[in-house]
Amino acid sequence: MLKLANICIVIFIFTAIQASPQNVDLLGSLNPYPNLDYSDIWGYAAGEKEYALMGVTGGTSITDVTDPATPVEVDFVPGPLAPPYEWRDIKTYMHYAYIVTEGTGAGSGMQIVDLSYLPDSVSLINTYDNTFSSAHNIYIADGFAYVVGTSLGGMHILDLGLPINPIETAYYAASGYIHDVYVWNDTAYASSNNTYDMIDVTNKNNPQLISSSSNIPGTYAHSGWLTEDKRYFIACEEFNVRDILVFDLVDRSTWDLVVSEWQSSSNSPVHNIFVLGDYAHISYYEDGYVVLDISNPLDPQFAGQYDTHPGGSFGIYTGAWGVYPYLPSGNIIISDMVTGLYVVDFDPPLTSAENQSEQINSFQLEQNYPNPFNPTTTIKFRIADFGFVNLTIYDVLGNEVTTLINRELSAGNYEVEFSSTRGSASGGIGLPSGIYIAQLRANNQVKTIKMSLVK
């Protein structure tokens, strides 16, 4: 049931073609097949090596992205022979890659690729075609593969207990055609054309429909991902009507639409979405790679972008197809349908809370160095704004020893030397060994440090 009273309409407009990336740095790129098309992308790590597995017309490209500045293709796995389809989806489990495609003909089915031969090569060791020959998407969780978008339309559940010889445990058809699926904790979240469906897959032999979202006219339930707390489902609508939707799933019987629209002004359709921490990483076709801050899922905010084809449009369904933000290095890999592979780094902007924290933290009194000291030590501090500053030294009983600074200063970094031979308490003879307190006051803020004088 759709609770209209709780809907928050959020429309965020940003310029589609940026003069420069926003909070995203390009680390490297590779277009190994400029005359072919590219599709989905996934990542794989082994030891200190990182790889991009990217769909290409006719097969899958395996690229070493350990040094992001110089990506190197290490192998290519051919797909079905006729037609040489570019659309394919890839997931990994253990040291295997599972590749599905809508391509047919000789070699069709789910390819199983052994990645253990990397960094030298990979090996196609089996092609599963027992219960389907083509598929649009695959998700792997807890040793099971969930294959959707097959010629039968629904979802095949495969036990990967024997990774190179999967066994189908069930075929689920109650949701009709399923385009994409996300699985967590024995629940599958299916993007099923007209609706988003929640499916109980606790019993891998007998999956059951839990609930469905309302059918929103004009939209296409394309893909989605749960937030880290698993309460909210963030959905992508490929028909370019509302782009991003957010559902509250606190009540599993109800898909409560709490954000009914987050949309670009560029007229670019959105494609796939992946969540990591407080950020949603999105392949946004002609807008390229787009990042949303979803720390508050009820109010998504634009956080970053890198356009993978800033020269202009190649057609409405071209541009960034996929993105993978889960490499151990933190680097992000993107597949562009025309221009190939990109490796980028997303540098999150400061949130308002972080900005406030940064302003507070910009008032700093560092520990003196050296410490312990004899006879002199250096005290460094930083102030955020112009104002009156006082830096005074006290002994451990609170008696004032000396005042080092007592005047107005501009914002900035400062350092001052303190000598144990100066100060009213020493009478020019020198301070005794012991603990001394440095206290900094500026703009109604106070910080102190303890200093140890050892003779």
Per-residue pLDDT at 314? 53
AA identity, residue 351: T
Query: Is the CATH code 2.60.40.2550 the one for domain 354-453?
Result: yes
The whole-angstrom distance between residue 230's C-alpha and the CA centroid of its chain comes to 15
Nearest 5°: the CA angle 187, 193, 198 is 15
The fold adopted by the segment(s) 4-352 is Methylamine Dehydrogenase; Chain H (2.130.10)
Answer whether residue 428 shows pLDDT above 70: no
Per-residue pLDDT at 315? 54
Nearest partner of 90 among 161, 159, 139, judged by Cα:
139
User: What are the pLDDT digits (tens) for 88-128?
Assistant: 999 999 999 999 998 877 889 999 999 999 999 999 999 99
Q: What percent of the chain has pLDDT over 90?
A: 61
User: What are the pLDDT digits (tens) for 429-452?
Assistant: 578 877 788 989 888 888 888 888
Which residues fall within 8 angstroms of residue 313, CB to CB, at 6 or more apart? 286
What DSSP designation does 85 have? -
Domain ranges (residues) in the chain: 4-352, 354-453
| Mean of per-residue pLDDT scores for the chain | 87
Which residues fall within 8 angstroms of residue 415, CB to CB, at 6 or more apart? 378, 379, 380, 381
Domains 4-352 and 354-453 share a fold: no
Indicate the pLDDT class of residue 13, thresholds 50, 70 and 90. very low
User: What are the pLDDT digits (tens) for 58-70?
Assistant: 999 999 999 999 9
Indicate the pLDDT class of residue 361, thresholds 50, 70 and 90. low
User: What are the pLDDT digits (tens) for 298-322?
Assistant: 999 999 999 997 765 555 568 899 9
